[in-house]
Structure 1
Amino acid sequence: MTNVLILGANGQIARLAEQQLLDDTDNKLTLFLRNKDRLSVHNESRETLFEGDATSEADLEKAMQGQDIVYANLGNRSIEQQAKAVVAAMDKAGLKRLIWISTLGIYDEVPGNFGKWNHQMLDGGYLETYGAAAKVIEGSDLDYTIIRPAWLSNKDIVSYEFTHKGEDFKGTEVSRKSIADVVVKLIQKPDQEVRESIGVNQPNTDGDKPSFY
């Protein structure tokens, strides 16, 4: 049994991962979010709600007590501050394994017309802040995996492939269900993709932009 802390537990991917972890593992989950009234537990014997601020090192360190793995499903313009708080709190709590959701394009790794379109859509604060947060994670001594999803869909499909930092990104889209599956697989096999930044896309979705745009 593994104790997993899910930061940003009310996010769509986090909720999918939560359900899959309940279905496929015997792990115990701590669901961390700013307002715990927004979320209900599915299994009271295996889940605990924790209300806290992901920019607060103190809140994070308290939530991290007794945990084995931290899965961060955070976002917004405070993402760099959140990354700094998570790294500091994990260091203080003696935790090493971190799974961190980021976004495609933070290394300017998306080629061709899709890369140009991605910049047009995400420049002006989003790519810059997520890139800065990734630098914080990569500059730490944690056993991190950074996940860089393609553009997200709600398709009921689990189909994905990886690229790694330094490689051109593939595809244009991926389902949230697929990203949740990646997270769960990494929790089940925490020695995989350690200190790696992985791009995740659905195969055969190359194009100038995602199919839903």
Structure 2
Amino acid sequence: MTKVLILGANGKIARLAEEELLANTDFSMNLFLRNASRMTATDSSRQNIIDGDSTDKEALKAAMNGVDVVYANLSGSNIEDQAKTVVAAMDASSVKRLVWISTLGIYDEVPGNYGKWNHQMLDGGYLETYAAAAKVIEGSDLDYTIIRPAWLSNKDIVSYEFTEKGEPFKGTEVSRKSIADVVVKLIQDPSQEVRHSIGVNQPNTDGDKPSFY
């Protein structure tokens, strides 16, 4: 049976992915997060909650015992340090498959007025740190997939398309539910999008900014 380590397990996308994994697979999960008292296992036979920090290599190594796939739903100004520690812990634990949530714009791949708006919103520490973290992941020997979502909504919809690294980003927004669906499909079939960085957007949402701005 597949075992998944979810880092940042209390995040909104992570929570949706966890629900989908429980409903549609028999996989087990290590749910890793700071202040673990914030979470309660939905199914204690399949979910193990671990209190830890993603810059703590030894804690990550312990959480990776018997794990097949690591899904990182991390954030923060120290995201580059977290990336370095995750890679080091995976190397030490001989775990190869990583699904890493990043953001659009890390390659300056967002065209037009939307790209200018995105820079205005995210420059000054956010884009730079997420780009640096992605560079760490891409420089590793892991079987990674980097997911670059458009601006996130809470819409109850699963609808998305991909762009690959080197292609102009499409669309302006995507639902968290859609990103969770992408994550779960990659966990279910780890052979897909290996060593790819994929932009993910809801089709037909082109414009100068997301609809909710």
Asked if these proteins are the same fold (TM beyond 0.5), I'd say yes
Distance across 2 between alignment mates of 1:55 and 1:45: 27
Distance across 2 between alignment mates of 1:92 and 1:153: 36
Query: What is aligned with 1:87?
Result: 87
1:175 lines up with 2:175 in the alignment = yes
Query: What is aligned with 1:28?
Result: 28
For 1:27-46, what aligned pairs fall within 5 Å after superposition? 27-46=27-46
Secondary structure in 2 matching 1:86: helix
Structure 2 length normalisation: TM-score?
1.00
Distance across 1 between alignment mates of 2:111 and 2:193: 23
For 1:70-109, what aligned pairs fall within 5 Å after superposition? 70-109=70-109
Aligned residues: 213
Query: What is aligned with 1:19?
Result: 19
Runs of 4+ off more than 3 Å: none
1:47 lines up with 2:59 in the alignment = no
Instruction: Structure 1: give runs of 5+ residues left out of the alignment.
Output: none
Distance across 1 between alignment mates of 2:52 and 2:93: 16
Query: What is aligned with 2:63?
Result: 63
Distance across 2 between alignment mates of 1:34 and 1:60: 12
Report how far residue 132 of structure 1 moved: 0.0
After superposition, the C-alpha distances for 1:188-213 in whole angstroms (9 at most, x for unaligned) are 10000000000000000000000000
Structure 1 length normalisation: TM-score?
1.00
Distance across 1 between alignment mates of 2:8 and 2:177: 16
Query: What is aligned with 2:197?
Result: 197
Report how far residue 165 of structure 1 moved: 0.2
Report how far residue 137 of structure 1 moved: 0.1
Instruction: Structure 2: give runs of 5+ residues left out of the alignment.
Output: none
Identical positions, percent: 76
Report how far residue 58 of structure 1 moved: 1.0
